[in-house]
Amino acid sequence: MELNILTICYLIGSITFIAGLKMLSHPESARKGNLVAAAGMFVAIIGTIFLYEEEGVKLGNYIWIFVALSIGTLLGTMAAKKVKMTAMPEMVSLFNGMGGACAALISIVEFNHLMHRGAEGQSADGGTLLIIFAGLIIGTISFAGSMVAWGKLNGSIKDFSFKGQHIVNLLIFGVIITLSAYLIISGDPAASSLFYVIFVLSIVYGLFFVLPIGGADMPVVISLLNSFTGVAAAFGGFLYDNPVMLTGGILVGSAGTILTILMCKAMNRPLSNVLIGSFGGGVSGGSGSKDQGAYKEISITDSAVVMSYAKKVIIVPGYGLAVAQAQHVCHELEKLLLDKGVEVSYAIHPVAGRMPGHMNVLLAEADVDYGSLQEMEQANDEFPSTDVVLILGANDVVNPAAKTDPSSPIYGMPVLDVELAKLVIINKRSMNPGYAGIENELFFQPKSSMLFGDAKSVLQQLVTEIKSL
């Protein structure tokens, strides 16, 4: 009877994961989707703790289990409540890394169990060893890579590469696969020390895998690492014959893989180019090496006037908007313009910000109507009939060099065609290059005007000016 109840708990968990993921596809149901999936996970965890048994023996160690659960719940809740929207990508990377670490630890524990049984004369199953090694390698690479991504996003780790690094990476990966194959085929307990050599090499590979990648490729890397963690968790589900772990891992792994492919398509670059090309990492040349000429500035008053009397305004949010925590005042500006009869919408580039969907989440926090958010293809059709484009901290995703300069590292990446509008107002703190490390030739075009300052402060001044008109 208990086994049947546990099976029902796992079934509930699996169904809620699928339903929750489906609900995440739309902002209006995303919050509820998170809660539904979390409820299913809670049912599965409680069912496992109290109902799971192996060879007639239940888990036990309830004090240790609930102390660990309490600590993890407390730390996770505090981190989620205190994190700023600008730091959300770092938190995603950090949490994703913890998932990879858990999958790797499961493989370590289960390998030690197998070796203990081998010492007692029980032979190790090759299929089980394959699952253990797959979980160890993928989980460890995800953990190490996510920690590097976390450090890069918060500025504590810089891009690093050396001549022949990709060859070194391939050699390390080859050694990992060779040693794993040897241990799986031989099943020799005496060679178990090689297991930890594989573990260390996987950490090194995970570090070298992400270190040279920088710039605008970081959202793709985060998505890819997320899929790695999901796959590693799925292997844990195989090990424990746990349908909830298996379902959750497959969902995360497949969703992350699909998102990675879609983002690469949005950048018009194959995944191999992202991983091998080290896009944005210490680039030079391209548009940054040209004499772009002079730029012109526009005042707050002039900006307020042209937007107030425009028929159509498109706002392009970028990381600068997130840094300034200016999403709420941006929404206030939108409402003021709508009251004046101005048509207002937002143009969202697929890789704007530091993680997939960063701008969507940012604007949703300010209760911006989801219907006013336009994807890149839709927005590009609208720019020619737009009177004013207001760019808030976006840089590389509006750089025309992606279309005109073959020497640019972002050449071939689809961008927002903001230069087709009648007037382009660019809000930036300074003329410093964007995350990809290259200068933006849009800033120097005749229809472009710079509006320098912190995004929140500038938007507040615009709101004040528009109210006085």
What local confidence, expressed as pLDDT, does residue 281 receive? Answer: 44
Enumerate residues 6+ apart whose C-beta is below 8 A from 352.
317, 318, 319, 358, 359, 394, 397
Residue 396 annotated among the catalytic residues of the structure:
yes
| Percent of the chain with pLDDT strictly greater than 70 | 89
pTM score, two decimals? Answer: 0.80
What local confidence, expressed as pLDDT, does residue 397 receive? Answer: 87
Higher-confidence residue of 252 and 219: namely: 252
Two tokens at 26?
């739309």
pLDDT level of residue 60 (50, 70, 90 thresholds)? confident
What local confidence, expressed as pLDDT, does residue 362 receive? Answer: 84
Two tokens at 447?
């229809």
Q: Provide the H-helix boundaries in 163-217.
A: 165-186, 193-210
pLDDT level of residue 122 (50, 70, 90 thresholds)? low
Residue 277 scores a pLDDT above 70: no
What local confidence, expressed as pLDDT, does residue 413 receive? Answer: 80
pLDDT level of residue 350 (50, 70, 90 thresholds)? confident
The b/e string for 278-292 (b: 16+ C-beta within 10 A; e otherwise) is: bbbbebeebbbeeee
Residue 369 scores a pLDDT above 60: yes
Residue 370 scores a pLDDT above 50: yes
Half-sphere exposure of 322 (CA within 13 A, CB side): 23
- The answer to whether 284 and 449 are in contact (CB under 8 A) is no
Half-sphere exposure of 113 (CA within 13 A, CB side): 12
Two tokens at 172?
């390390």
Higher-confidence residue of 331 and 188: namely: 331
pLDDT in tens, 417-446: 999 999 999 998 877 766 556 788 899 999
What local confidence, expressed as pLDDT, does residue 457 receive? Answer: 94
Neighbours of 306 (CB within 10 A): 18
pLDDT in tens, 160-187: 878 888 889 899 999 999 999 988 887 6
Q: How far is C-alpha 30 from the chain's CA centre?
A: 17
Closest to 275 (Cα-Cα) out of 316, 325, 220: 220
Distance (Å, whole) CA 308 – CA 193: 71
- DSSP code for 419: G
pLDDT level of residue 408 (50, 70, 90 thresholds)? confident
| Percent of the chain with pLDDT strictly greater than 90 | 50
Residue 377 scores a pLDDT above 50: yes
Tell me which amino acid residue 163 is: K
Residue 111 scores a pLDDT above 70: yes
Q: How far is C-alpha 443 from the chain's CA centre?
A: 28
pLDDT level of residue 123 (50, 70, 90 thresholds)? low
Rg (CA), the chain: 25
Distance (Å, whole) CA 39 – CA 20: 10
Catalytic site residue from 217, 396, 405, 417: 396
What local confidence, expressed as pLDDT, does residue 105 receive? Answer: 95
pLDDT level of residue 270 (50, 70, 90 thresholds)? confident
Domain 286-468, CATH number (from 3.40.50.1220, 1.10.3720.10, 3.40.50.150, 3.40.50.300): 3.40.50.1220
| Dihedral sign for Cα atoms in the order 214, 218, 222, 224 | negative
Neighbours of 2 (CB within 10 A): 12
What local confidence, expressed as pLDDT, does residue 1 receive? Answer: 46
Residue 285 scores a pLDDT above 70: no
What local confidence, expressed as pLDDT, does residue 286 receive? Answer: 45
What local confidence, expressed as pLDDT, does residue 282 receive? Answer: 43
Distance (Å, whole) CA 140 – CA 105: 9
Residue 98 scores a pLDDT above 80: yes
Backbone angles phi, psi at 442, to 5 degrees: -60, -35
Q: What is the mean pLDDT of residues 33-50?
A: 93
**297 - beta bridge partners?**
450
- The answer to whether 288 and 438 are in contact (CB under 8 A) is yes
Question: What stretch of H or E contains 274?
Answer: helix 271-277
> How is the beta sheet containing 448-452 ordered, strand by strand?
373-375, 343-348, 312-317, 388-392, 423-428, 448-452
